[in-house]
Amino acid sequence: MSTSTPCPLLINGEWLRPAALATSPVFNPSTGEVIGAVPLAGAAEVDAAVQAAHAAFPAWAETPVVDRTRIMFRYRTLVEKHFDEIARTISREHGKTYAESRGDLFRGIEAIEYACGAPTLMMGDMVTNIARSVDCETTRYPLGVCVGITPFNFPAMIPLWMFPLALVTGNTFVLKPSERVPFTALRLAELLIEAGLPKGVFNLVQGGKPAVDALLTHPLVKAVSFVGSTPIARYIHQTGTAHGKRVQANGGAKNYVFVLPDSDVNKTVEGIMNAAFGCAGERCMAGSSVITVGNRGRHLMGELATAAKALKVGRTDGEAQPDMGALITAAHRDRVLGLVESGLSAGAKLVADGRGVKVPDAPKGFYLGATIVEDVQPGMALAREEVFGPVLNVLHLDHLEDAIALANQSAYGNGAAIFTNSGKAAREFKHRVQCGMIGINIGVPASLAMFPFSGWNDSFFGDLHIQGKESVWFYTQQKVTTTRWIAEGVGDVWRK
């Protein structure tokens, strides 16, 4: 695509490029170069997309669930067929490594596969003779027009958490991807059309806050799914529910990793490095804060520093691949740097310094190397705020009780992990830490497609989580039918 031609919108099965819309540049984070432009849709374009989805809903809802599912099976086949192409697109517009982009898409395919179980997932319940001659049954029905508003950090996986399940349960859908990463969403939409989805069932609009607000307040939208930062998640939930919509809004996180004295050092270091620096730390399940308990801490620091300094940072848009890529924008990189500086000014100590990393073949890329900061105290902004970058905070405490109490002071509640060989310590940790996803000797305890992504506290706003059965419930509503037949009916068919 030309860097000067805005990418299109998909409305009622047609690719549109409204000439009057303002645009926003799309960057290749590896080089800092502009690689495209995204149109900033407003209320008129959003209304057209929602109206198209609303018009398509009655026929789509009446389409048998097995037929809807067959389209999703074809879609899965097409996504796998174009796997490498899509993964390369993710790396180019996001900056994550090719291996990480493959993981992004693979986890998205798992969500498609879960949605392919719709005929079973949509089954209701029934009890016969719940009272004399009375039967009672439940059935599930779609809601109508559903909306997905997705972030930049997982351009394939997070949209695929949403629309496959919404579609197979009989809803129509409008996707608003991040304006930072529009091209992956476009390719996913193209393949959905190729799979045979009828016009208007799926629509795609690009844009920023005006497009989001138009979706949140549109009277025909029934449900909104969102993933992003906590302040925006809170806003999405408040605004959407105030306008009568179901909302599931996933926010940010500050995920703690506990290291106990009996943990395996090599496996622990490997787990922490992946948790803290995978995807350059740009994920809401990043293990960004380590608490060492007991006498493990000082020895662990040397191992972590050596591993962090060995990480190769570089371009991800070619064949040769580094260990870690760039951050999404220069502004975001500068924000992360500012948080590191604030921690150092407040008394924290630098163990591994990634601030001066150089990538000779991409001097304008948005790079920050792996950074480790020790003795980060709870009151520091670096300890409180979601950094969303390749920065690991470390604090040393003597007792597990104190570590749990400190972690539970966080406003967030996505995930926490512990590295230990003690079943008792792991059990206490699992039951007492106040968050929704727990890892035991696993640094990134993100749930698979068949389980809910169950953030707590300020990491989630809503009642029903994304993924798993809760997501089926979110995209459907139940009807309960109670039946008693009183009359004999037509004809004398019973033995006297």
327 CA to centre of own chain: 17
Pairing of strands 476-483, 134-142: antiparallel
Whether 284 is a known active-site residue: answer yes
> Which positions ≥6 away from 366 have C-beta within 8 Å?
27, 29, 32, 95, 326, 327, 328, 329, 330, 332, 333
- Between the CA of residue 206 and those of 143, 198, 352, what are the distances in Å? 23, 21, 39
Burial of 9 (0-12, 13-18, 19+ CB in 10 A): buried
Q: Where are the alpha helices (DSSP H) in 348-459?
A: 381-384, 400-407, 423-432
Catalytic residue among 7, 116, 146, 284: 284
- Determine the residue type at 96: K
Query: Which phi and psi (to 5°) does residue 2 adopt?
Result: -65, 145
Check if the beta carbon of residue 437 is closer than 8 Å to that of residue 445: yes
Contact 294, 452 (CB under 8 A): no
CB 141 within 8 A of CB 124: no
Q: Which residues are CB-contacts of 169 (< 8 A; sequence separation ≥ 6)?
A: 65, 118, 121, 122, 140, 142, 472, 475, 476
Kindly report the number of other CB atoms within 10 A of residue 78's CB atom: 15
Whether 377 contacts 345, CB under 8 Å:
no
Output the CA angle 409-415-420, nearest 5 degrees: 95
Tokens standing for residue 288:
């960004």
Helix (H, G, I), strand (E, B) or coil at 420: coil
Q: Is 343 in a helix, a strand, or coil?
A: helix
- Those residues whose C-beta lies under 8 Å from the C-beta of residue 380, and which sit 6 or more positions away, are 342, 343, 346, 348
Residue 39 to residue 41: CA distance in whole angstroms? 6
Active site positions, annotated:
284
